[in-house]
Chains A and B, each alone.
Chain A
């Protein structure tokens, strides 16, 4: 497993076109997450969490400012370059799970490795190992419709880990789960983070979940409102 990637964001600004004008989603965001760090990102709706996540995950290029993940300067990437970055560096966990209904748990996880053109025996072995690691070794042939919410999110986590990413981005991973399932998913994420050493950034509305992260970041109206590190106990305000 590759080591976690450092996240370094400087002066990030991003806006969306809306009707005749534009709406600012991020406005001068500065952020540092150390390699192998575990950070949570909180904020109200419209604060810019999803936009920041999308930019860090290479779903869209930054409009202004510098975003460097590991050795990759995302502002220099477009199209296939971003796809390659997503494939090799990032693992996504979505609130809506993002599983393909026609594929089994095994196939959903394997899909991520297919895109890397890993040889079939190797990808099958890796996929099965991951499903065992998330506790779904006995449910490999089940389709998403046959799994509970918590199990689906475990499949999604296994898929996020399929290409051994250096950065895991989880967008409200417990948003659609009951309390017990949510706790199980978060504990799994923490366990995998500890075992694999990848950097994890969790977007959440849940203060308790956010509080478990070693670094907590609060966003408001496109700006970093507060960033707190547990270990050092120091916090700083920005914007």
Chain B
């Protein structure tokens, strides 16, 4: 019997016992649905939690400070920096040449005075109406290399002096609702780096004012600071402030060309090695590697448990297939005998029953996997609305083809295995059943 003919016969048998087939199929579909939904949810949870930890940036990122290292702090995620040390393009190039380093992005921070324009949301709320904060300037040409994620709007254009993004901290300072970050988009913000002037034995500040537009709200871990802008902007500010007279303690000025670097390693497992090499070059580093590793371990345990629960349900459903097919073998003893009497071989019978089982498994798997994806999406929508209400990064649950395919293939394979016993039993039935009395 050709596979095509065996398939056609199996399909007719499935249709013949439609009620039982539908119930069996539903059991498999529900189990596959549960398995797919649980795996999708746990996978998404892992991805999203790690994304939250990395603030949307690469997981394997390392922050390099313009400071000497404290080698005893290497195993610490947030190493305490040593004495200040200049960090410039030469050091950045040296670090970029290290093996296992994927990218190096310089960061310059600058203390500035900020004045929300009159009429902008939250303007005038802080008293006085201006405040000091740190602007974080970075090379924004490839934001995926930075631990920055956009909560609303977009990032400033690379090299722009007139666009900035603010963090949720800015919203809190202005007592704005973090759940509605889009409200500040388009608002004007005047900002200027201060320079200290010694005039007539009195220190005065003068700022290099720049009117900017808030184009985005971001969460960022590139460097401490509430405003994100282009590195060109903060470099200009840094130069202005550096020309100050007298005591500039309050401005936290640094002579280092870069305040820090964001280095991305080739993988989470390479972070430790890269940190050691950067320490050898002479700079302090920090990376959330231990935190991420711990979180990953916990999430892996959760994923294993959830997958096991779904798998157990699928195994139980497949036992249902075995049971249904065993009943079918009992009912079809004579029919199997007749098939053998007209020349069917044992393996022809085996094949027909295996196809029946696989068919139920595959159909149940397809229905269940799609249902599981729908269920996970529904959960995702609920979680997403909660996260954004909390001012956190939104959840992204795309169709995970791998998981869906796994659900279908897993159901088919398990059903085939479950159908093996009844199929073997059917194949081994004696041909004489064709002339039995029953």
| B-binding residues in A (CB < 8 A) | 50, 53-54, 57-60, 79-80, 82-84, 86-88, 90, 92, 94, 96, 98, 100-103, 111-112, 114-117, 159, 162-163, 171
Contact = CB atoms under 8 A, between A and B. Distances in A.
A159 B342 contact: yes
15 contacts: A59-B337, A59-B430, A82-B431, A84-B343, A87-B342, A92-B341, A92-B342, A92-B434, A96-B334, A98-B338, A102-B12, A115-B342, A162-B342, A163-B343, A171-B435
Interface string B338-356: 1111111110100000000
Given A59-B434, A79-B346, A98-B434, 9 more contacts: A53-B435, A59-B430, A60-B431, A80-B346, A87-B343, A115-B344, A115-B348, A117-B2, A162-B342
A83 B345 contact: yes
Contacts of A102: 12-13, 15-16
A115 B432 contact: no
A48 B336 CA distance: 22
Interface in B313-357: 334-335, 337-346, 348
B208 interface: no
B343 A59 contact: no
Given A57-B341, A102-B13, A94 B432 contact: no
A43 to B, nearest CB: 14
Given A96-B334, A100-B335, A114-B5, A86 B341 contact: yes
Interface string B1-19: 1100100010011011000
A25 to B, nearest CB: 11
Interface of B: 1-2, 5, 9, 12-13, 15-16, 334-335, 337-346, 348, 430-432, 434-435
Contacts of A82: 431
A156 to B, nearest CB: 9
Contacts of A159: 342
A171 B434 CA distance: 10
B434 A60 contact: no
Contacts of A115: 1, 342-344, 348
A92 B1 CA distance: 19
A116 B346 CA distance: 15
B252 to A, nearest CB: 84
Contacts of A171: 435
Give the interface centre of A87, A101, A102, A171 by most chain B CB atoms within 10 Å: A102
B334 to A, nearest CB: 7
Give the interface centre of A54, A60, A82, A159 by most chain B CB atoms within 10 Å: A54
A202 to B, nearest CB: 14
Contact of A86 (B5, B13, B342, B435): B342
Given A59-B340, A86-B341, A101 B16 contact: yes
Contact of A54 (B12, B344, B432): B432
A191 B340 CA distance: 27
Contacts of A163: 342-343
A114 B348 CA distance: 11
Contacts of A60: 430-432
Give the interface centre of A80, A112, A114, A159 by most chain B CB atoms within 10 Å: A114
A117 B3 CA distance: 11
Contacts of B348: 115
B134 to A, nearest CB: 77
Contacts of B5: 114
A112 B342 contact: yes
A50 B16 CA distance: 30
Given A102-B16, A114-B2, A115-B1, A80 B345 contact: yes
B435 A83 contact: no
Nearest to B437: A50
Nearest to A95: B435
A72 to B, nearest CB: 14
Contact of A59 (B334, B344, B431): B431
A111 B342 contact: yes
A166 to B, nearest CB: 14
Nearest to A172: B435
Given A102-B15, A102-B16, A112 B343 contact: yes
Give the interface centre of A92, A159, A171 by most chain B CB atoms within 10 Å: A92
A103 B12 contact: yes
Contacts of B15: 102
A157 to B, nearest CB: 13
Contacts of B16: 101-102
A69 B338 CA distance: 20
A93 B335 CA distance: 13
Contacts of B431: 54, 58-60, 82-83, 86
Contacts of B340: 59, 83, 86
Nearest to B13: A102
Contacts of B343: 83-84, 86-88, 112, 115-116, 163
Contact of B432 (A59, A101, A114, A116): A59
A204 B337 CA distance: 21
A59 B334 CA distance: 13
